[in-house]
Amino acid sequence: MKSALMDTPDRIPTLCVTGTENLKGRAEVVAAAAAEHGDAVDRDARFPTETFAAARAQRLLGMMVPVELGGEGASVSDVVDVCYMLGRACASSAMIFAMHQIMVAILVRHTRNSAWHRELLQRLIAEQLLFASSTTENQTGGDVRASACVVERTGTRMALVKNATVMSYGAEADGILTTARRSADSASSDQVLVAFLKKDYELERIVDWDVLGMRGTCSTGFTLRGQGGVEQILPDAYEKIHTQSMVPVAHLTWSGVWTGIAAGAVGRARRFVRGAARHGSGQLPPGAAHLTRAVMSLRALRGSVASALQHYEIAAMTEDGLAALEFQTAMNLLKVNSSESAIETVMSAMQACGLSGYRNSGEFSICRSLRDVLSSSIMINNDRILANAASALLLVDIPALLRD
Ligand SMILES: Cc1cc2nc3c(=O)[nH]c(=O)nc-3n(C[C@H](O)[C@H](O)[C@H](O)COP(=O)(O)OP(=O)(O)OC[C@H]3O[C@@H](n4cnc5c(N)ncnc54)[C@H](O)[C@@H]3O)c2cc1C
């Protein structure tokens, strides 16, 4: 079976074919809505309402939920294909879709013995709920493995207050999954993940989201005040959730989004160079060499994400596979590599289009793609990832064979 990421890169594909029912066609409908409203979403820094109305109508929000709970049992690879398709159309739509699906992947893998969360997954299917993620806090910044916020338990009830300085689409979500310290006595790294539905929390706006790119993610800062039953705390410790699901699925889906942004920019550059060649009686414009570079780096990027997906799907079959240091390192470095390559690809596309690419509007503008893709290096800062990976890399062997 072929996927959008595995298609030949120079065709800049838009389609994916999977085992789920007509996923290709349904994702195209959502991508069309995202493309139509992408400029307005960016200009007004507003939530991509039309994309998510279409995603709900096409029943994509619960695509990864197992069949026995009413979902389609789609794979992470299927989701990454949709992220890629949306990324070509509207980066904010794609990133919101990715962040929601990371939460779904966590719920699917880490709540098998929790009746409350199984019911939540069934509600997700029935009501097409959208879940947000809250890890960032003003006290701990981008360090996902440290929380200041604490779960306070009283009998069968629990409550927490979090200074969530960045929370994408917090105001629009139907539920939030948030990290917190297990108890007031716990170390900052002894964390749990708590699921709240909208009725369980209040949000007080504390920081606006007026930023360079990814403007439609509406990643406003809030004080989150949540309460519910203790059964809403996920049974697995966050440490396990982080290594087995949060990191790999985030880095794969985000890579799909950034590759999609890059593919969209390369598509525009290609149309520009073709048009210029037509007007120049077949003579390629001087910027054509930049298009070659853009296509080359896009090919490499797509190949590396597709190969990482294969790695993940095999590793995800066993706990040992997911826990392996080599796998963890590969997933961490994928994020840094994808973000750097996507930025490089979009820059080459911009160079290929010249002033037409630099203009804020017009058929060949690369500006939105460039502003959006620049978020990739700070969305869990590459510096932080590289610093954390350095000691692990000393323990990972260099493979003996090229295809090992
Ligand atoms: C589009 C977008 C959407 C987001 N959505 C959400 C969301 O929904 N929920 C959520 O919780 N968060 C969200 N975030 C926040 C994100 O998860 C990170 O917390 C945030 O991007 C980290 O920002 P930072 O670089 O300032 O923080 P930090 O990682 O704390 O870095 C701060 C500075 O320190 C440097 N630095 C950090 N560690 C090291 C190191 N080890 N070595 C050298 N230098 C280092 C960095 O280079 C940087 O200059 C979002 C971010 C973006 C861009």
Domain co-membership, 255 together with 108: no
- pLDDT of res. 3: 60
- 1 in a structural domain: no
Domain co-membership, 207 together with 252: no
Q: Is the pLDDT of residue 387 over 60?
A: yes
- 2 in a structural domain: no
- pLDDT of res. 391: 83
Q: How far is the CA of 384 from the centre of ligand 1 (A)?
A: 8
- 400 in a structural domain: no
| Domain end (from 83, 101, 130) | 130
Q: Which amino acid is at 12?
A: I
> What percent of the chain is modeled with pLDDT above 90?
86
- pLDDT of res. 182: 97
- 403 in a structural domain: no
Q: How much is the average pLDDT of 176-193?
A: 97
- 319 in a structural domain: yes
Q: How far is the CA of 314 from the centre of ligand 1 (A)?
A: 30
Half-sphere exposure of 56 (CA within 13 A, CB side): 14
The dihedral region occupied by 59, where left means phi > 0, alpha psi between -120 and 50, and beta the remainder, is left
Q: Is the pLDDT of residue 329 over 90?
A: yes
Domain co-membership, 121 together with 141: no
- pLDDT of res. 107: 98
Residue 353's CATH number: 1.20.140.10
| Domain end (from 232, 261, 290) | 232
Q: Which domain holds residue 79?
A: 9-130
> What percent of the chain is modeled with pLDDT above 70?
95
The reply to whether ligand 1 has any atom less than 6 angstroms from the CB of 166 is yes
Residue 198's CATH number: 2.40.110.10
Express each pLDDT in 41-81 by its tens digit.
Answer: 999 999 999 999 999 999 999 999 999 999 999 999 999 99
pTM above 0.85, yes or no: yes
- pLDDT of res. 390: 87
- pLDDT of res. 1: 38
Testing ligand 1's pocket by substitution, the residue of 140, 384, 388, 391 carrying the most ligand atoms inside 8 A of its CB is: 384
- 16 versus 244: which is more confidently predicted? 244
Q: Is the pLDDT of residue 266 over 90?
A: yes
Domain co-membership, 262 together with 370: yes
| Domain end (from 232, 259, 280) | 232
Express each pLDDT in 289-316 by its tens digit.
Answer: 999 999 999 999 999 999 999 999 999 9
Express each pLDDT in 226-265 by its tens digit.
Answer: 999 999 999 999 999 999 999 999 999 999 999 999 999 9
Q: Which amino acid is at 137?
A: E
Domain co-membership, 316 together with 339: yes
Q: Is the pLDDT of residue 16 over 90?
A: no
Q: How far apart are CA 226 and CA 149, in angstroms?
A: 11
Q: Say if strands 175-181 and 131-134 run parallel, antiparallel, or are unpaired.
A: parallel
- 315 in a structural domain: yes
Q: Is the pLDDT of residue 217 over 90?
A: yes
Residue 31's CATH number: 1.10.540.10
Domain co-membership, 66 together with 113: yes
Q: How far is the CA of 375 from the centre of ligand 1 (A)?
A: 10
Q: How far apart are CA 314 and CA 188, in angstroms?
A: 32
Domain co-membership, 110 together with 181: no
- 146 in a structural domain: yes
Question: What is the number of structural domains in the chain?
Answer: 3
